[in-house]
Amino acid sequence: MKQEYLKYIRDNVFPTAFCPGCGHGILLNAFVSALGELDYDQDNLVLVSGIGCGGWIASPHMNTDTLHTTHGRAIPFAIGVKLANPKLKVVVISGDGDLTTIGGNHLIHAARRRIPITVICGNNNIYGMTGGQASATTPVGAKTMTTPLGNDYRPFDLVKLVKGAGGEHVYRYTAFHAMQMKKAFKDVLQKDDFSFFDILTGCPVQYGRRNELREPAKMIQWMKDNSVLYSGEYHDDKIMVGKF
Amino acid sequence: MPIEKKKTHLKAGKYFMQGDEACAEGAVAAGCTFFAGYPITPASEIMETIVRRFEEEKRVFVQMEDEIASMGAIVGASWTGAKSMTATSGPGFSLKMENLGYAIMTETPCVVVDVQRVGPSTGQATRTAQGDLMQARWGTHGEHTIIALSPWSVEEAFYETVRAFNLAEEFRTPVIILMEEATGHLRETVAVREAIEIFNRVEEGNGAPFGGEEPLDAVPPMPRFGTGHRLLVTGSTHDPHGYRKTQDRVTQERLLSHLQQKIEYHKERIVQWEEYELDDAETVLISFGFAARAALKAVKDARKKGIKAGLMRLKTVWPMPTERFETLAAQAKTLIVPEMNFGQLRGEVQRFTGGKKVIGVNRADGEVITPESILRAVEGGTSL
Ligand SMILES: Cc1ncc(C[n+]2csc(CCOP(=O)(O)OP(=O)(O)O)c2C)c(N)n1
């Protein structure tokens, strides 16, 4: 990140609360770089988040108006901000537990209505902050605190979920795809439409340590090896990345 | 000046309307520009009236996917400078509780209407009750203070809604309007005045945007989003600039004290009640909302029979005028609290009577409490 982009980060927020190797930091970096490259007006931007480590990506790091809300409810608060003042650019950044598990209902309705907000899910496939319980995006077989023998239930495919609900401008990237992620952020920041990002951030501490991906480098490598760029064909056994 | 004299959108004069309608008209008059709702009996007519008025006036109405979302949306809207509101009944009121606490913690002005119906749970949707008095006070978790108003007539539904917005703006806090189904669906005359006084929040000023600095009871300025303040709003414990301080005992203590003192130290601006025939009263009735209508009738009937009865009617139910409870308890031979629940107000009054027993007249079967049942208690009480 360029030095001058630090204007988008509050002065007194380092060291961050994120664990070493946390992919939420890569997401934050890509988002700030997107703002920087656009020289985006930070005083016309409102970042809304829920509860969890994912909710901390924006609050307090981002040097913009920030609304750190209740668990799962970031989207309704964001809708209130956007509808009351449509001139503002409103971006929700939060975790998978927050946006898709406790808050899943709000997500599908925002997609259905195509409310002109951007929703970015920092998806680490687990409830990181509370110690590693299964979420709606935990893969089948994955070990978590609440599924020590492996998760029995199928996860949401967030791209299909949001598209199925009527959402447009739907993207997925992993922590390996920082450049592509940044470019896509730049695209949506210049539009006033609904858009959704499933960003696989990875949680080496809570997810990795239980699933043989404790080393952050190994987790990123795993993301790289298992992802395929979407070009019309969707493979359910791969991490499909790109624009959908 | 934050206080403004504003012409009402309705021409001055007499209107015949429903309590729910009057509440919505009061909101429009007060300058409410954002309403988020979800359908529920017996509160839906508020939303219905708002939809009609907001279309005419180009204000923002949104029907959300549930009451949790409605409560979240009005808090978000409030941070853009809007006066915002939601309206519901018991089941929806329960769902709003977590985000109501968020509004308290983040000092976000907004108005939440609860048109009370019979509970618990789905209960009886079209039947009246006063079972949410304590929920309004303590429904959201954690130590906190709340303002709640209780109109007893359709006309008051109009003016108390205006007052609710004014208090929300002045004290930067959610204000609850506790109505009953009986008032919400009642049709009565409302005398609309030419102009009303409204309070607009102080947006710019010295100091940080959240409480916790001395003096602790001062209400901080509330800048709006999009004006370069780069606000940090969080429901976690925060310092006056909004930085989370989730391990620090001093920050928590100061924030809690602030949230309490800004309301409790200014009770004289918030707490209102009316007194009827209390000067020489030996039997003192204390009541609120629709039940107070029956209580007043009972007082009049008792007077005709030569019984010295009087009524204190709470307009503000939270905080309560507890000092007045004490003086009335000292004066009275008999204290009676009629209400449409099993004694939620009675318990509160009882704490301030110096041991004098408070008699309850209670009804919670979905029907309105009657003057006759209250009169019987008055007669029984005085013959003791
Ligand atoms: C209503 C409510 N329930 C539970 C919690 C406890 N809680 C805090 S964070 C969290 C999980 C967050 O998980 P996720 O959104 O996936 O974020 P991560 O920490 O993994 O980034 C939970 C359940 C809460 N704060 N509020």
- Check which CATH number belongs to the domain holding B44 and give it: 3.40.50.970
For residue A84, being part of any structural domain is answered with yes
Q: For residue B174, is pLDDT > 90?
A: yes
- B130 by Cβ neighbours in 10 Å (0-12 / 13-18 / 19+) ranks as buried
For residue A12, being part of any structural domain is answered with no
What sign has the CA pseudo-torsion A117, A122, A125, A129? negative
Residues B195 and B281 in one domain: no
Given an 8 Å threshold on Cβ–Cβ distance, is A76 in contact with B233? no
For residue A4, being part of any structural domain is answered with no
Q: Choose the final residue of a domain: B199, B219, B254.
A: B199
Residues B147 and B281 in one domain: no
Percent of chain B with pLDDT over 70: 99
The reply to whether ligand 1 has any atom less than 6 angstroms from the CB of A103 is no
SS3 for A29?
helix
The continuous run of DSSP H or E covering A174 comes out as: strand A170-174
First to last CA, chain B: 55
Q: Is A105 on the interface with B (CB under 8 A)?
A: yes
Residues B59 and B158 in one domain: yes
What sign has the CA pseudo-torsion A170, A176, A180, A181? positive
Given an 8 Å threshold on Cβ–Cβ distance, is B226 in contact with A73? no
For residue B300, being part of any structural domain is answered with yes
Residues B169 and B60 in one domain: yes
For residue B248, being part of any structural domain is answered with no
- Check which CATH number belongs to the domain holding B362 and give it: 3.40.50.920
The reply to whether ligand 1 has any atom less than 6 angstroms from the CB of A144 is no
Q: Is B125 on the interface with A (CB under 8 A)?
A: no
CA distance A68 to chain B (A): 5
Q: Which residues contact A91 (CB under 8 A, 6 or more apart)?
A: A45, A46, A47, A48, A58, A78, A117, A118, A119, A120, A189
Q: Report the residue of B32, B95, B233, B247 to disrupt the A interface, i.e. the one with the largest count of A CBs within 10 Å.
A: B233
For residue B374, being part of any structural domain is answered with yes
Q: Residue B243: which of A59, A58, A6 has the closest Cα?
A: A59
For residue A18, being part of any structural domain is answered with no
**Strand arrangement, sheet containing B232-234:** A227-229, A239-243, A170-174, A195-200, A118-123, A89-95, A45-49, A65-68, B232-234
For residue A203, being part of any structural domain is answered with yes
List the single residue in B60, B232, B233 with the smallest CB-CB distance to A84.
Answer: B60
Quote the tokens at residue B261. 């003192």
For chain B, the domain total comes to 2
For residue B204, being part of any structural domain is answered with no
For residue B186, being part of any structural domain is answered with yes
For residue A3, being part of any structural domain is answered with no
For residue B216, being part of any structural domain is answered with no
Residues B175 and B323 in one domain: no
Q: B355: left (phi > 0), else alpha (psi -120 to 50), else beta?
A: left
Instruction: Annotate chain B with three-state secondary structure.
Output: CCEEEEECCCCCEEEEEEHHHHHHHHHHHHCCCEEEECCCCCCHHHHHHHHHHHHHHCCEEEECCCHHHHHHHHHHHHCCCCCEEEEECHHHHHHHHHHHHHHHHCCCCEEEEEEEEECCCCCEEEEECCCCHHHHHHCCCCCCCCEEECCCCHHHHHHHHHHHHHHHHHHCCEEEEEEEHHHHCCEEEEEECCEEEEECCCCCCCCCCCCCCCCCCCCCCCCCCCCCCCCEEECCCECCCCCECCCCHHHHHHHHHHHHHHHHCCHHHHCCEEEECCCCCCEEEEEEHHHHHHHHHHHHHHHHCCCCEEEEEECEEECCCHHHHHHHHHHCCEEEEEECCCCHHHHHHHCCCCCCCEEEEECCCCCCCCHHHHHHHHHHHHCC
CA distance B31 to chain A (A): 14
For residue B218, being part of any structural domain is answered with no
Q: Residue B50: which of B95, B129, B136, B111 has the closest Cα?
A: B111
Q: Residue A62: which of A96, A90, A104 has the closest Cα?
A: A90
Cα–chain-centroid distance for residue B302?
30
What is the extent of the structural domain holding B317? 273-380
Q: Choose the final residue of a domain: B199, B228, B261.
A: B199
List the single residue in A43, A66, A78 with the smallest CB-CB distance to B226.
Answer: A43
Residue B35 with chain A: CB contacts under 8 Å: none
For residue B230, being part of any structural domain is answered with no
Residues B194 and B277 in one domain: no
Q: For residue B345, is pLDDT > 90?
A: yes
Q: Specify the pLDDT at position B384.
A: 41
Q: For residue B233, is pLDDT > 90?
A: yes
Is the separation of the CB atoms in A204 and A214 below 8 Å? yes
Beta-carbon contacts below 8 Å between A and B: 128
Residues B189 and B277 in one domain: no
Position B383 confidence tier, pLDDT thresholds 50, 70, 90: very low
Q: What is the pLDDT along chain A (244 residues), one digit of tens a residue?
A: 899 999 999 998 988 899 999 999 999 999 999 999 999 999 999 999 999 999 999 999 999 999 999 999 999 999 999 999 999 999 999 999 999 999 999 999 999 999 999 999 999 999 999 999 999 999 999 999 999 999 999 999 999 999 999 999 999 999 999 999 999 999 999 999 999 999 999 999 999 999 999 999 999 999 999 999 999 999 999 999 999 9
CA distance A126 to chain B (A): 22
Q: Choose the final residue of a domain: B199, B225, B245.
A: B199
Residue with tokens 């209780």: B150
For chain A, the domain total comes to 1
First to last CA, chain A: 27
Q: Report the residue of A68, A88, A90 to disrupt the B interface, i.e. the one with the largest count of B CBs within 10 Å.
A: A68
The reply to whether ligand 1 has any atom less than 6 angstroms from the CB of A197 is no
Q: Is B191 on the interface with A (CB under 8 A)?
A: no
Q: Specify the pLDDT at position A194.
A: 98
- Check which CATH number belongs to the domain holding A50 and give it: 3.40.50.970
Q: What is the tens place of the pLDDT at every residue in B46-77?
A: 999 999 999 988 899 999 999 999 999 999 99
For residue A5, being part of any structural domain is answered with no
For residue A151, being part of any structural domain is answered with yes
Q: For residue B353, is pLDDT > 60?
A: yes
For ligand 1, atom 8: residue with the closest CA:
A52
Q: Residue A125: which of A203, A223, A212, A59 has the closest Cα?
A: A203
What is the extent of the structural domain holding A75? 25-243
What value of ipTM does the predicted structure carry? 0.98
Rounded Cα distance between A172 and A197, Å, is: 6
Residue B74 with chain A: CB contacts under 8 Å: 80
Q: Specify the pLDDT at position B1.
A: 64
